[in-house]
Amino acid sequence: MPGATDQTLRPFLWRAERLYPETEIVSRGHDGLTRYTYSEYSSRVKQLASALRATGVTAGDRVATLCWNHHRHFELYFAVTSMGAQLHTINPLLPTDHISHIIDDAGDRVVFVDPSLVETVTEALTATETDTITQFVVMDDSASASALDPIEDYESYLDAHESAFEWPALEETAPAGMCYTSGTTGKPKGVEYTHQMLWSHTMATQSPQGIPIDDDDVVLPVVPMFHVNAWGMPFSATAGGAKQVFPGPAPEPAELGSLIESEGVTIAAGVPTVWLGLKEYMTHTAVDLSTLERVVIGGSAAPESMIDWFDSHGVEVLHAWGMTEMAPIGTVSHAKAGLEDASAAQRRAKRAKQGLAVPGLEFRVIDDNGDEVPWDGEQFGELWVRGPWVTTEYFANESATAETFEDGWLKTGDVVTVDEDGYLEIVDRIKDVIKSGGEWISSVELENAIMGHDGVEEATVVGVGDDKWQERPIAFVVADDSASRDELTAELEASLTEQFPKWWVPDAFEFIDAVPKTATGKFAKRVLREQYDSTDQFDTSPSAKAPPEE
Ligand code: ADP
């Protein structure tokens, strides 16, 4: 017998409103902190739903946002989805032509935009013929002059409406969210999330082996709300009845530190770059991290040195892996029962991996011949996943769908190993794997080793074309000011030679000011590879190191 209601997001809002009416939501804006309760939140969410209905938004319409992490954006999370429309969060850091493509492809009806991003939207729209948008709303209390028309400011938009709203009964197959992959290759591809996908993702991440959030937690999602719903945290924090702290537009380490201290944050989430910034900042300014219990790190591999640094501050790192296509959490690295007798070093090595499949998900690892590889921590293949919150298609894109999905499995494009205990480790992206003389080199392992070295702030390793070996690794290193480049190169060569086969050691160590990043904070390896190939500013002398003959 089916349950009386479907798996939809609205009951999470109901629970927070009724059980935790006094629990706070805090949001950083240009004029300081806004602070209110779930009770006030809920009534504004209803006002917003009434306003959207008055604008003509009905079931199935897409409502776009180009917004940072703040309370108004969070209000859209429940208002849009629970009224039956679809919340389409757009990454404003993408190139303008990608934003044009995304708005056009999705056919958005209303666009909510932060004041600082009005220009970005205006520019993106001049490059498209899109005629679906009937209303722009600027996330402020005054709409400044703008080419966007008709435009209203958010507070006036809300004020004109009552905080009474009869939520419609929704089916779990109804679309609730939408997000585009950042398109490191080709145009961004749309992924739709149904209510059931977001509901099951919330429940799975709320399990003890996910990223559980309790009612005494204080949650700080630094990961942007335009990046796969801030990894689902605003939904799971509401489900758990936790206090939520939104850090506002482009928060700097000083602002994060101050929010952690003043709000007593217990759990925060962000990509490694964010934590690297905080770590750097704390070399000269003290931040009290004593309330912080857990930090979720994902999006790119968490360097081991970062895990150690958090450990030394008494903060547990939950290393997580995921993708836009799966809403996004797939694995989380918890210490598995039975590992109590393992040495501290062994346990730490496990935790540094991307971790164990979250309950509800299945995966397999497929080699070049289409066979499953054994779980021995050595052999690798492409990771395939399936589960209730994993999509089985891209929006209106048959060719990309045919390429990426097979029999309900998502082919992730990630190359992984799985060890005897089931811990999955990402060893590369298929497109980033370095093949030298027919043998495979893991750019990720080299990067981790280099980043763990004193004097190195950040590093990435890419494969560049080589006449003899097809490809050779080159390391791009951001060193701190104190380090002598020549000495550091010699040290790195010696240290990598000790840890890896001789032919894995990069042919060159190039020092750069910063590693270029994609719009989602990942290393933009393609940019470095192209620069390297097209310039003679780097030393391209032939390699002295040889991979083994095949
Ligand atoms: P895009 O694929 O468009 O860059 P996503 O945010 O969907 O955007 O990125 C998903 C990819 O990010 C994964 O397939 C994987 O390669 C990488 N990734 C995510 N989390 C981790 C992690 N913890 N360690 C290593 N790589 C990760």
Name the strands in the sheet holding 218-221, side by side, starting at the edge strand that comes first in the sequence.
32-37, 24-29, 243-246, 218-221, 267-270, 294-297, 316-322, 329-332, 356-357
pLDDT of residue 185: 59
pLDDT of residue 431: 81
Helix (H) or strand (E) holding 79: helix 71-82
pLDDT of residue 438: 74
Alpha-carbon gap, residue 325 to 408, rounded angstroms? 13
522 Cβ below 6 A of ligand 1: yes
Q: Quick check: is 490 in a domain?
A: yes
426 Cβ below 6 A of ligand 1: yes
Minimal CA–CA distance to 18: which of 49, 47, 50, 41?
41
412 Cβ below 6 A of ligand 1: yes
pLDDT of residue 546: 42
Structure tokens at 288: 């009290």
pLDDT of residue 547: 45
pLDDT of residue 466: 85
From 295, 423, 426, 518, give the residue whose CB has the most ligand 1 atoms within 8 Å, as the site to mutate: 426
321 Cβ below 6 A of ligand 1: yes
| CATH number of the domain where residue 510 is located | 3.30.300.30
Number of domains the chain is built from: 1
| CA angle centred on 160, ends 156 and 166, rounded to 5° | 125
> How many helices and strands in the chain, by DSSP H and E?
17, 26
Q: How close is the Cα of 134 to the center of ligand 1, in Å? A: 34
Kindly give the parts of the chain with pLDDT less than 50: 539-550
Q: Quick check: is 489 in a domain?
A: yes
From 323, 325, 442, give the residue whose CB has the most ligand 1 atoms within 8 Å, as the site to mutate: 323
Q: How close is the Cα of 76 to the center of ligand 1, in Å? A: 26
Q: How close is the Cα of 286 to the center of ligand 1, in Å? A: 31
Structure tokens at 406: 């097979």
**What is this structure's pTM?**
0.89
User: In 10 A of CB 134, how many CB atoms?
Assistant: 14
From 89, 522, 527, give the residue whose CB has the most ligand 1 atoms within 8 Å, as the site to mutate: 522
91 Cβ below 6 A of ligand 1: no
| Residue located nearest, by CA, to atom 27 of ligand 1 | 300
Q: How close is the Cα of 431 to the center of ligand 1, in Å? A: 13
Q: Quick check: is 275 in a domain?
A: no
Q: Quick check: is 419 in a domain?
A: no
The phi, psi pair for 309, rounded to 5°, reads -65, -45
Q: Quick check: is 319 in a domain?
A: no
Range of the domain at 446: 432-545
pLDDT of residue 517: 86
Q: Quick check: is 363 in a domain?
A: no
pLDDT of residue 421: 96
Q: Quick check: is 446 in a domain?
A: yes
Q: How close is the Cα of 184 to the center of ligand 1, in Å? A: 11
Catalytic residues, which ones?
181, 325, 435, 440
| Residue located nearest, by CA, to atom 13 of ligand 1 | 323
pLDDT of residue 548: 42
Q: Could you report the per-residue pLDDT of 421-468, keeping only the tens digit for each? A: 999 999 988 888 888 877 788 888 899 899 999 999 899 999 998 888
* Cβ within 8 Å of residue 64, ≥6 positions away: 88, 89, 90, 103, 106, 108, 110, 111, 112
- Beta pairing class for 86-89 and 110-113: unpaired
Q: Quick check: is 503 in a domain?
A: yes
The phi, psi pair for 419, rounded to 5°, reads -90, 180
- Beta pairing class for 405-406 and 424-429: unpaired
CA 410 to chain CA centroid, nearest Å: 18
